[in-house]
Structures are given as structure tokens and as C-alpha cells.
């Protein structure tokens, strides 16, 4: 699939380690988002970025960090401060920040803490 | 802030029957309501959306209705097929703000 990609697909982490999840898009979208998905729950917003070099916390930002140095890239770091990081992580993008419109999702990264 | 509820959490229907999933929202400023379908192990994909200036939108076997007064919107799937089996998420968003997603409905279409 083109458009928006995430890597790796599966990631295993030991407790106390930081890990970084990659998200890249070639859709020329201004806005990018990180969501966390847990079984039986909807998508919860971690961080979002409306433009390069700018990002804001979502509903569950504690224990996570992001950067937006390039329009195409929005990596998410899961730090050791995140108490329950095992989850499915989805990255998304949308054309503009003013009118969210349709969000395009990446294929996701499944993170497991051992 | 916005809060979105979704019912039912699971739904089983016979192939060929109709399925209806309902969402309610709390923020009267919300004006965009997308529906996403997520097949097992795959990414969510937009299947239909509606804006607050219309009451109904249809795309082949899928339709969405919106009742702004009651603050609810529903997804209708007619003539269900096995490939419709998936988790469906609704979302609501005021203009220029982030989506709030419902918890999802797992639809199973039984042959």
C-alpha cells in the first residue's frame, strides 16, 4: 500500500526501553495523527500535528513523544514512562488541519512489551 | 469536549439482511460524521461520511442518516454480504477539530 506507511509492523520491547514507531506519508497532507487502539475500544488520540515543526497533545499523550521535522514524517516514541504500552498504534493523515475531512490511516504497528 | 457512544458493540445478521449501527454525540458544534470500516488486522478505511447540512447520504448498499436535533447518526447496510464482516467505527468532529471516535461495533454476517 502506498500513501501512508508505518514501520515496523510488529515490535517487541523490554520494560524500561524507549522505542520509536515510524510513520511516513507521500500524500502531501498537512496534518498527521497518532492513535492508540486497544481491544474492544475505539481509537484514542495520542498526538497530532497540523503543520511542520508544530504538534499538540491528544487525549492520552502521557508517556509518548513526537516530532514533525518534515511534512512527510511523524515518528512516535513510546517512552519507559508509558505504563501500559502494549497496543496497536495507528498513524493517520488528512489534507488540511482546518477541515479535518477524511483521515487516511497507515497499516499500524503492533507493540508488545515483554 | 465531544463524547461519542456507539451501539450495539456486537451485531450478528444473516447474509442478505440489513444491519443498523447507531451513534450518539454530545457536542452540538460537531458537523462532520465519518464511518470507518476495519477488517481484521487491517487499517480503518472511510466508507461513508455525512456533514451536518444534509440528513441522509447513500452509496450503493450503505447509507448514513443524521438527526441533528437528537444528536445521533446511523449507518445502514442493506443486503449484507460476508465481506461486510468487520469492526465499524463512527466519529464526530466540529469544524477544524479532531475526531472523537466511538468504541466500535463488531459486525458478523452469517452465511
Per-residue pLDDT reduced to its tens digit, B6-38: 999 999 999 999 999 999 999 999 999 999 999
> Does B45 or B97 have the greater pLDDT score?
B45
Q: List A residues 41-70 in contact with B (Cβ-Cβ < 8 A).
A: 41-45, 48, 58
- Decide if B101 and A43 are in contact by the 8 Å CB cutoff: yes
- Chain B residues within 8 angstroms (CB to CB) of chain A: 4, 6, 9, 32, 34, 36, 42-46, 49, 89, 93, 95-99, 101-104
Tracing cell 451485531 back to the chain, one arrives at: B11
d(CA B106, nearest CA chain A) in Å: 9
- Decide if A105 and B43 are in contact by the 8 Å CB cutoff: yes
- Residues A111, A87: contact at Cβ < 8 Å? yes
Point out the residue among B34, B98, B104 whose CB comes nearest to the CB of A102: B34
Q: Tens digit of pLDDT per residue, chain A (114 long)?
A: 569 999 999 999 888 899 999 999 999 999 999 999 998 778 999 999 989 999 999 999 999 999 999 999 999 999 988 889 999 999 999 887 555 567 899 999 999 998
Bridge partners (DSSP) of residue B11 are: B107
- Centroid of chain to Cα B58: 13
Asked whether the CA dihedral A42, B39, A101, B65 is positive or negative, the reply is negative
CA A82 – CA A75 distance, rounded (Å):
16
> Does B99 or B80 have the greater pLDDT score?
B80
- Decide if A99 and B96 are in contact by the 8 Å CB cutoff: yes
Per-residue pLDDT reduced to its tens digit, B32-80: 999 999 998 889 999 999 998 889 999 999 999 999 999 999 999 999 9
- Decide if B96 and A100 are in contact by the 8 Å CB cutoff: yes
CA B17 – CA B109 distance, rounded (Å):
9
CA A82 – CA A18 distance, rounded (Å):
9
Per-residue pLDDT reduced to its tens digit, A95-105: 875 555 678 99
- Decide if B98 and A58 are in contact by the 8 Å CB cutoff: yes
- Decide if B98 and A45 are in contact by the 8 Å CB cutoff: yes
Amino acid at each position: 500500500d502506498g500513501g501512508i506507511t508505518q514501520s515496523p509492523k510488529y515490535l517487541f520491547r523490554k520494560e524500561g526501553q524507549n522505542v520509536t514507531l515510524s510513520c511516513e506519508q507521500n500524500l502531501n497532507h498537512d496534518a498527521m495523527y497518532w492513535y492508540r487502539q486497544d481491544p474492544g475500544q475505539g481509537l484514542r488520540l495520542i498526538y497530532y500535528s497540523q503543520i511542520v515543526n508544530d504538534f499538540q497533545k491528544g487525549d492520552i499523550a502521557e508517556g509518548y513523544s513526537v516530532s514533525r521535522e518534515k511534512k512527510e514524517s511523524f515518528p512516535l516514541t513510546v517512552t519507559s514512562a508509558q505504563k501500559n504500552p502494549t497496543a496497536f498504534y495507528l498513524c493517520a493523515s488528512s489534507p488540511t488541519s482546518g477541515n479535518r475531512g477524511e483521515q487516511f490511516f497507515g497499516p499500524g504497528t503492533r507493540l508488545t512489551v515483554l | 469536549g465531544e463524547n461519542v457512544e456507539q451501539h450495539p458493540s456486537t451485531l450478528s445478521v444473516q447474509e442478505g439482511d440489513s444491519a443498523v449501527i447507531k451513534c450518539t454525540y454530545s457536542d452540538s458544534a460537531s458537523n462532520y460524521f465519518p464511518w470507518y470500516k476495519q477488517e481484521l488486522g487491517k487499517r480503518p478505511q472511510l466508507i461513508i461520511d455525512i456533514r451536518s447540512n444534509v440528513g441522509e447520504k447513500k452509496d450503493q448498499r450503505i447509507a448514513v442518516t443524521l438527526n441533528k436535533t437528537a444528536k445521533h447518526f446511523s449507518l445502514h447496510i442493506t443486503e449484507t454480504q460476508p465481506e461486510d464482516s468487520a469492526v465499524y467505527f463512527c466519529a464526530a468532529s466540529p469544524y477544524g477539530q479532531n475526531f472523537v471516535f466511538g468504541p466500535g461495533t463488531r459486525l458478523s454476517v452469517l452465511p
